[in-house]
Structure 1
Amino acid sequence: MADPRLAARHGAGTYDILLRSGRQRVTVPVEVTALPEREPGDNLAYGEKATASSTHGRFDPCGAVDGDSAWQNWSTSTGWNDGTSRVFPDWLAVEWPKPERIERVEIHTYATPTSPASRQGIKDFDVQVREGGTWTTVREFRNNTAAHITASFPVRETDSVRVVVHSSNSGDYSRILELEAYGPAT
Protein backbone atom coordinates (compact mmCIF):
# COMPACT_ATOMS: atom_id res chain seq x y z
CA MET A 1 0.00 0.00 0.00
CA ALA A 2 1.33 3.41 -0.93
CA ASP A 3 1.70 6.05 1.77
CA PRO A 4 -1.64 7.96 1.77
CA ARG A 5 0.24 11.18 2.56
CA LEU A 6 1.72 11.16 -0.96
CA ALA A 7 -1.59 12.44 -2.30
CA ALA A 8 -1.53 15.37 0.11
CA ARG A 9 2.03 16.28 -0.84
CA HIS A 10 2.02 15.54 -4.56
CA GLY A 11 -1.61 15.13 -5.59
CA ALA A 12 -3.48 12.01 -6.57
CA GLY A 13 -2.25 10.24 -9.68
CA THR A 14 0.13 7.62 -10.99
CA TYR A 15 3.81 7.92 -10.10
CA ASP A 16 6.72 5.90 -11.44
CA ILE A 17 8.95 4.43 -8.76
CA LEU A 18 12.43 3.34 -9.81
CA LEU A 19 13.66 0.20 -8.04
CA ARG A 20 17.33 -0.79 -8.22
CA SER A 21 19.04 -4.03 -7.26
CA GLY A 22 22.63 -4.26 -8.34
CA ARG A 23 22.65 -3.49 -12.07
CA GLN A 24 18.95 -4.22 -12.51
CA ARG A 25 16.48 -1.37 -12.66
CA VAL A 26 12.74 -1.66 -12.81
CA THR A 27 10.20 1.15 -13.00
CA VAL A 28 6.95 0.35 -11.23
CA PRO A 29 3.85 2.55 -11.56
CA VAL A 30 2.13 3.32 -8.25
CA GLU A 31 -1.42 4.66 -8.10
CA VAL A 32 -1.90 7.23 -5.33
CA THR A 33 -5.43 8.16 -4.36
CA ALA A 34 -6.44 11.14 -2.25
CA LEU A 35 -7.80 10.60 1.22
CA PRO A 36 -11.58 10.80 1.30
CA GLU A 37 -13.16 13.99 2.61
CA ARG A 38 -13.62 13.76 6.36
CA GLU A 39 -17.04 13.65 7.91
CA PRO A 40 -17.84 14.61 11.52
CA GLY A 41 -16.81 11.70 13.73
CA ASP A 42 -14.09 10.41 11.37
CA ASN A 43 -10.64 9.42 12.62
CA LEU A 44 -8.56 12.59 12.17
CA ALA A 45 -5.24 10.73 12.44
CA TYR A 46 -5.85 8.51 9.40
CA GLY A 47 -3.23 9.15 6.73
CA GLU A 48 -1.66 12.12 8.51
CA LYS A 49 2.03 12.65 9.22
CA ALA A 50 3.25 10.25 11.90
CA THR A 51 6.63 10.43 13.65
CA ALA A 52 8.27 8.46 16.43
CA SER A 53 11.23 8.46 18.78
CA SER A 54 12.66 5.46 16.91
CA THR A 55 11.56 2.66 14.59
CA HIS A 56 12.30 -1.07 14.56
CA GLY A 57 12.71 -2.61 11.12
CA ARG A 58 9.72 -2.15 8.85
CA PHE A 59 7.35 -0.95 11.60
CA ASP A 60 7.31 2.67 10.46
CA PRO A 61 5.16 5.24 12.32
CA CYS A 62 2.88 5.71 9.28
CA GLY A 63 1.76 2.09 9.78
CA ALA A 64 0.03 3.25 12.97
CA VAL A 65 -2.19 5.76 11.12
CA ASP A 66 -3.14 3.57 8.15
CA GLY A 67 -6.62 2.69 9.41
CA ASP A 68 -5.71 -0.94 10.14
CA SER A 69 -5.88 -2.04 13.79
CA ALA A 70 -6.04 -5.80 13.13
CA TRP A 71 -3.31 -7.76 14.91
CA GLN A 72 -3.48 -10.33 12.10
CA ASN A 73 -1.83 -7.76 9.79
CA TRP A 74 1.06 -6.91 12.12
CA SER A 75 3.55 -8.83 9.97
CA THR A 76 2.57 -6.73 6.93
CA SER A 77 3.99 -3.58 8.55
CA THR A 78 0.79 -2.19 9.96
CA GLY A 79 1.55 -0.60 13.29
CA TRP A 80 4.62 0.91 14.93
CA ASN A 81 7.36 -0.74 16.97
CA ASP A 82 10.08 1.38 18.60
CA GLY A 83 13.69 0.60 17.79
CA THR A 84 15.34 0.71 21.23
CA SER A 85 14.79 -2.54 23.11
CA ARG A 86 14.47 -2.11 26.87
CA VAL A 87 15.01 1.67 26.65
CA PHE A 88 12.12 3.96 27.61
CA PRO A 89 10.45 6.40 27.16
CA ASP A 90 9.35 6.00 23.53
CA TRP A 91 6.82 8.12 21.69
CA LEU A 92 4.54 8.01 18.66
CA ALA A 93 2.92 11.21 17.36
CA VAL A 94 0.50 12.28 14.64
CA GLU A 95 0.60 15.82 13.30
CA TRP A 96 -1.83 17.99 11.32
CA PRO A 97 -0.98 20.82 8.92
CA LYS A 98 -3.38 23.07 10.86
CA PRO A 99 -4.79 22.74 14.40
CA GLU A 100 -7.69 20.34 14.94
CA ARG A 101 -10.22 20.14 17.77
CA ILE A 102 -9.61 16.83 19.57
CA GLU A 103 -11.48 15.29 22.51
CA ARG A 104 -10.62 11.61 22.28
CA VAL A 105 -7.63 9.47 21.37
CA GLU A 106 -7.90 5.73 20.85
CA ILE A 107 -4.89 3.46 20.99
CA HIS A 108 -4.74 -0.12 19.79
CA THR A 109 -1.69 -1.77 21.33
CA TYR A 110 -0.25 -5.06 20.13
CA ALA A 111 -2.18 -8.09 21.37
CA THR A 112 -3.08 -11.51 19.97
CA PRO A 113 -5.15 -14.39 21.37
CA THR A 114 -1.96 -16.20 22.40
CA SER A 115 -0.01 -13.08 23.38
CA PRO A 116 -2.47 -10.67 25.03
CA ALA A 117 -1.85 -7.01 25.78
CA SER A 118 -1.08 -8.00 29.38
CA ARG A 119 2.11 -9.62 27.97
CA GLN A 120 2.93 -7.53 24.85
CA GLY A 121 1.04 -4.23 25.04
CA ILE A 122 2.00 -0.81 26.30
CA LYS A 123 1.71 -0.61 30.08
CA ASP A 124 2.50 2.89 31.41
CA PHE A 125 1.95 5.81 29.05
CA ASP A 126 0.73 9.37 28.70
CA VAL A 127 -1.46 10.94 26.02
CA GLN A 128 -0.27 14.45 25.19
CA VAL A 129 -1.39 17.31 22.94
CA ARG A 130 0.80 20.07 21.54
CA GLU A 131 -0.53 23.58 21.92
CA GLY A 132 1.57 26.57 20.93
CA GLY A 133 4.65 24.36 20.68
CA THR A 134 4.29 22.98 24.21
CA TRP A 135 3.32 19.38 25.07
CA THR A 136 0.62 18.95 27.71
CA THR A 137 -0.39 15.62 29.23
CA VAL A 138 -4.18 15.19 28.99
CA ARG A 139 -4.40 11.58 30.26
CA GLU A 140 -2.12 9.19 32.13
CA PHE A 141 -2.42 5.41 32.08
CA ARG A 142 -0.59 3.08 34.46
CA ASN A 143 -0.60 -0.74 34.63
CA ASN A 144 -2.62 -1.04 31.42
CA THR A 145 -3.48 -4.55 30.25
CA ALA A 146 -6.15 -3.64 27.66
CA ALA A 147 -5.58 -3.95 23.91
CA HIS A 148 -7.88 -1.03 23.00
CA ILE A 149 -7.59 2.09 25.14
CA THR A 150 -9.79 5.18 24.92
CA ALA A 151 -8.49 8.46 26.33
CA SER A 152 -11.27 11.08 26.59
CA PHE A 153 -10.58 14.63 27.71
CA PRO A 154 -12.04 18.15 27.36
CA VAL A 155 -11.77 19.48 23.79
CA ARG A 156 -8.30 20.77 22.96
CA GLU A 157 -7.21 22.61 19.82
CA THR A 158 -3.92 21.03 18.81
CA ASP A 159 -1.65 20.47 15.84
CA SER A 160 -0.29 17.17 17.20
CA VAL A 161 -1.10 14.30 19.55
CA ARG A 162 1.43 11.85 20.93
CA VAL A 163 1.59 8.79 23.12
CA VAL A 164 4.64 8.70 25.40
CA VAL A 165 5.31 5.13 26.53
CA HIS A 166 7.16 4.71 29.84
CA SER A 167 7.04 0.89 29.90
CA SER A 168 5.53 -2.09 28.15
CA ASN A 169 4.18 -5.29 29.65
CA SER A 170 6.90 -7.26 27.84
CA GLY A 171 9.60 -4.88 29.11
CA ASP A 172 11.27 -4.67 25.71
CA TYR A 173 9.49 -2.67 22.99
CA SER A 174 6.64 -0.21 22.60
CA ARG A 175 4.13 -1.58 20.07
CA ILE A 176 1.10 0.34 18.78
CA LEU A 177 -1.11 -1.08 16.04
CA GLU A 178 -3.12 2.09 15.50
CA LEU A 179 -3.37 5.63 16.89
CA GLU A 180 -6.69 7.38 16.29
CA ALA A 181 -7.85 10.89 17.15
CA TYR A 182 -11.41 12.23 17.19
CA GLY A 183 -12.95 15.64 17.53
CA PRO A 184 -16.39 16.67 18.74
CA ALA A 185 -19.27 15.18 16.73
CA THR A 186 -20.54 18.63 15.75
Structure 2
Amino acid sequence: MQAPDGKRWTELKRALLEEIATAPHKAVSIFNIAQHIPGWQMPVYKVTNTIRGNLPVFAAQSAIRVNNIEYRSAVYEDLTKKGATQRASVDLLAAVLGLPVPDLKTKIIDLPASNEEVTINMSKDPIFALQEYCQAKKLPLPAYSFKAEGPTCKPIFTCTCTFGSSTSTGQAGKKQRAKRLAAREMIYTLVSGN
Protein backbone atom coordinates (compact mmCIF):
# COMPACT_ATOMS: atom_id res chain seq x y z
CA MET A 1 0.00 0.00 0.00
CA GLN A 2 2.93 2.33 0.60
CA ALA A 3 4.83 1.41 -2.57
CA PRO A 4 5.20 4.24 -5.08
CA ASP A 5 3.31 4.41 -8.36
CA GLY A 6 4.92 2.91 -11.42
CA LYS A 7 4.44 -0.09 -13.68
CA ARG A 8 6.63 -2.52 -11.72
CA TRP A 9 5.09 -1.62 -8.37
CA THR A 10 1.60 -1.88 -9.84
CA GLU A 11 2.39 -5.34 -11.22
CA LEU A 12 3.73 -6.39 -7.81
CA LYS A 13 0.63 -5.04 -6.05
CA ARG A 14 -1.61 -6.85 -8.55
CA ALA A 15 0.29 -10.13 -8.02
CA LEU A 16 0.05 -9.77 -4.24
CA LEU A 17 -3.66 -9.01 -4.48
CA GLU A 18 -4.18 -12.16 -6.57
CA GLU A 19 -2.33 -14.13 -3.87
CA ILE A 20 -4.42 -12.55 -1.11
CA ALA A 21 -7.58 -13.54 -3.02
CA THR A 22 -6.62 -17.19 -2.49
CA ALA A 23 -6.36 -16.57 1.29
CA PRO A 24 -8.85 -13.73 1.94
CA HIS A 25 -8.17 -13.66 5.70
CA LYS A 26 -4.86 -11.95 4.84
CA ALA A 27 -6.76 -8.86 3.64
CA VAL A 28 -8.21 -8.43 7.13
CA SER A 29 -4.67 -8.72 8.54
CA ILE A 30 -3.48 -5.98 6.18
CA PHE A 31 -6.21 -3.64 7.41
CA ASN A 32 -5.18 -4.46 11.00
CA ILE A 33 -1.56 -3.53 10.19
CA ALA A 34 -2.70 -0.36 8.38
CA GLN A 35 -4.18 0.90 11.64
CA HIS A 36 -0.70 1.06 13.14
CA ILE A 37 1.51 2.16 10.24
CA PRO A 38 -0.47 4.70 8.15
CA GLY A 39 -3.04 5.15 10.94
CA TRP A 40 -6.17 4.03 9.08
CA GLN A 41 -9.41 3.18 10.80
CA MET A 42 -10.67 -0.40 10.52
CA PRO A 43 -13.22 -0.98 7.75
CA VAL A 44 -16.90 -0.95 8.66
CA TYR A 45 -18.78 -4.11 7.69
CA LYS A 46 -22.47 -4.40 6.90
CA VAL A 47 -23.49 -8.06 7.21
CA THR A 48 -26.91 -9.60 6.61
CA ASN A 49 -27.99 -13.21 7.12
CA THR A 50 -30.65 -15.12 5.18
CA ILE A 51 -31.61 -18.75 4.57
CA ARG A 52 -31.76 -20.21 1.05
CA GLY A 53 -33.27 -23.65 0.87
CA ASN A 54 -31.65 -25.17 3.93
CA LEU A 55 -28.40 -23.17 3.73
CA PRO A 56 -27.53 -20.13 5.87
CA VAL A 57 -26.13 -17.37 3.65
CA PHE A 58 -24.23 -14.31 4.87
CA ALA A 59 -23.81 -11.22 2.69
CA ALA A 60 -21.13 -8.65 3.58
CA GLN A 61 -20.08 -5.26 2.28
CA SER A 62 -17.18 -3.21 3.66
CA ALA A 63 -16.32 0.47 3.60
CA ILE A 64 -13.38 2.60 4.74
CA ARG A 65 -12.36 6.25 4.60
CA VAL A 66 -8.72 6.90 3.65
CA ASN A 67 -7.39 10.45 3.17
CA ASN A 68 -10.98 11.80 3.10
CA ILE A 69 -11.97 9.42 0.29
CA GLU A 70 -14.58 6.77 1.00
CA TYR A 71 -14.07 3.35 -0.55
CA ARG A 72 -16.74 0.65 -0.65
CA SER A 73 -16.63 -3.01 -1.66
CA ALA A 74 -19.18 -4.98 -3.61
CA VAL A 75 -21.47 -7.34 -1.67
CA TYR A 76 -20.07 -10.85 -1.16
CA GLU A 77 -21.96 -13.96 -0.09
CA ASP A 78 -20.63 -16.95 1.79
CA LEU A 79 -21.87 -19.72 4.07
CA THR A 80 -19.99 -18.08 6.96
CA LYS A 81 -19.98 -14.50 8.19
CA LYS A 82 -16.18 -14.60 8.33
CA GLY A 83 -15.92 -15.82 4.72
CA ALA A 84 -18.20 -13.06 3.45
CA THR A 85 -16.34 -10.30 5.36
CA GLN A 86 -12.95 -11.62 4.24
CA ARG A 87 -13.95 -11.54 0.56
CA ALA A 88 -15.38 -8.05 1.00
CA SER A 89 -12.05 -7.03 2.58
CA VAL A 90 -10.10 -8.19 -0.50
CA ASP A 91 -12.44 -6.19 -2.74
CA LEU A 92 -12.04 -3.14 -0.48
CA LEU A 93 -8.25 -3.46 -0.53
CA ALA A 94 -8.35 -3.54 -4.35
CA ALA A 95 -10.51 -0.39 -4.33
CA VAL A 96 -8.09 1.47 -2.05
CA LEU A 97 -5.14 0.44 -4.23
CA GLY A 98 -7.03 1.38 -7.42
CA LEU A 99 -6.58 -2.11 -8.86
CA PRO A 100 -9.04 -4.52 -10.47
CA VAL A 101 -10.67 -6.94 -8.05
CA PRO A 102 -9.34 -10.50 -8.35
CA ASP A 103 -11.86 -13.31 -8.89
CA LEU A 104 -13.62 -13.75 -5.55
CA LYS A 105 -17.05 -14.76 -6.69
CA THR A 106 -18.51 -17.59 -4.68
CA LYS A 107 -21.86 -18.34 -6.29
CA ILE A 108 -24.53 -19.45 -3.86
CA ILE A 109 -27.51 -20.60 -5.85
CA ASP A 110 -31.12 -20.50 -4.70
CA LEU A 111 -32.12 -24.00 -3.67
CA PRO A 112 -35.71 -25.13 -3.29
CA ALA A 113 -36.34 -26.27 0.30
CA SER A 114 -37.64 -29.63 -0.89
CA ASN A 115 -34.79 -30.54 -3.26
CA GLU A 116 -34.83 -34.36 -3.26
CA GLU A 117 -31.28 -34.61 -4.60
CA VAL A 118 -29.77 -32.91 -1.56
CA THR A 119 -29.65 -35.55 1.15
CA ILE A 120 -27.16 -33.76 3.40
CA ASN A 121 -28.48 -33.05 6.89
CA MET A 122 -27.33 -29.46 7.44
CA SER A 123 -28.33 -29.48 11.11
CA LYS A 124 -25.63 -32.02 11.95
CA ASP A 125 -21.91 -31.58 12.46
CA PRO A 126 -20.56 -31.07 8.89
CA ILE A 127 -18.01 -33.90 9.24
CA PHE A 128 -20.71 -36.43 10.16
CA ALA A 129 -23.20 -34.99 7.65
CA LEU A 130 -20.67 -35.39 4.84
CA GLN A 131 -19.87 -38.94 5.97
CA GLU A 132 -23.58 -39.88 6.03
CA TYR A 133 -24.02 -38.39 2.56
CA CYS A 134 -21.14 -40.52 1.22
CA GLN A 135 -22.57 -43.64 2.83
CA ALA A 136 -26.08 -42.97 1.52
CA LYS A 137 -24.74 -42.41 -2.02
CA LYS A 138 -22.30 -45.34 -1.72
CA LEU A 139 -19.36 -43.03 -2.40
CA PRO A 140 -15.84 -43.20 -0.96
CA LEU A 141 -15.34 -41.11 2.17
CA PRO A 142 -13.55 -37.77 1.85
CA ALA A 143 -9.86 -37.57 2.76
CA TYR A 144 -8.57 -34.89 5.15
CA SER A 145 -5.02 -33.54 5.35
CA PHE A 146 -3.59 -30.92 7.71
CA LYS A 147 -0.89 -28.27 7.62
CA ALA A 148 0.16 -26.17 10.64
CA GLU A 149 1.64 -22.68 10.38
CA GLY A 150 2.74 -20.10 12.89
CA PRO A 151 4.29 -20.46 16.34
CA THR A 152 4.07 -23.87 18.01
CA CYS A 153 2.34 -22.29 21.02
CA LYS A 154 -0.46 -20.88 18.82
CA PRO A 155 -0.51 -22.67 15.45
CA ILE A 156 -3.04 -22.07 12.69
CA PHE A 157 -4.23 -25.33 11.15
CA THR A 158 -5.31 -25.57 7.52
CA CYS A 159 -7.36 -28.65 6.72
CA THR A 160 -7.86 -29.74 3.11
CA CYS A 161 -10.84 -31.97 2.38
CA THR A 162 -10.54 -33.99 -0.84
CA PHE A 163 -13.65 -35.63 -2.25
CA GLY A 164 -13.40 -36.98 -5.78
CA SER A 165 -12.00 -34.16 -7.92
CA SER A 166 -13.13 -31.45 -5.48
CA THR A 167 -11.13 -29.90 -2.66
CA SER A 168 -12.09 -27.48 0.06
CA THR A 169 -10.17 -25.93 2.93
CA GLY A 170 -10.82 -24.71 6.43
CA GLN A 171 -8.53 -22.73 8.68
CA ALA A 172 -8.68 -22.42 12.47
CA GLY A 173 -6.64 -22.48 15.66
CA LYS A 174 -7.71 -26.06 16.35
CA LYS A 175 -7.44 -29.09 14.06
CA GLN A 176 -11.01 -30.28 14.60
CA ARG A 177 -12.45 -26.81 13.91
CA ALA A 178 -10.41 -26.57 10.68
CA LYS A 179 -11.67 -30.02 9.66
CA ARG A 180 -15.26 -29.01 10.40
CA LEU A 181 -14.91 -25.83 8.29
CA ALA A 182 -13.37 -27.80 5.39
CA ALA A 183 -16.23 -30.34 5.55
CA ARG A 184 -18.81 -27.53 5.62
CA GLU A 185 -17.23 -25.92 2.55
CA MET A 186 -17.27 -29.30 0.76
CA ILE A 187 -20.97 -29.72 1.59
CA TYR A 188 -21.60 -26.33 0.00
CA THR A 189 -19.70 -27.44 -3.11
CA LEU A 190 -21.76 -30.63 -3.36
CA VAL A 191 -25.09 -28.89 -2.77
CA SER A 192 -24.40 -26.07 -5.23
CA GLY A 193 -23.32 -28.59 -7.87
CA ASN A 194 -26.76 -30.27 -7.88
Q: TM-score, normalised by structure 2?
A: 0.23
The structure that is strand-richer by fraction is 1
Q: TM-score, normalised by structure 1?
A: 0.23
Q: Determine which structure has greater relative contact order: mean sequence separation of CA pairs < 8 Å that are 6+ residues apart, divided by chain length.
A: 1
The structure that is helix-richer by fraction is 2
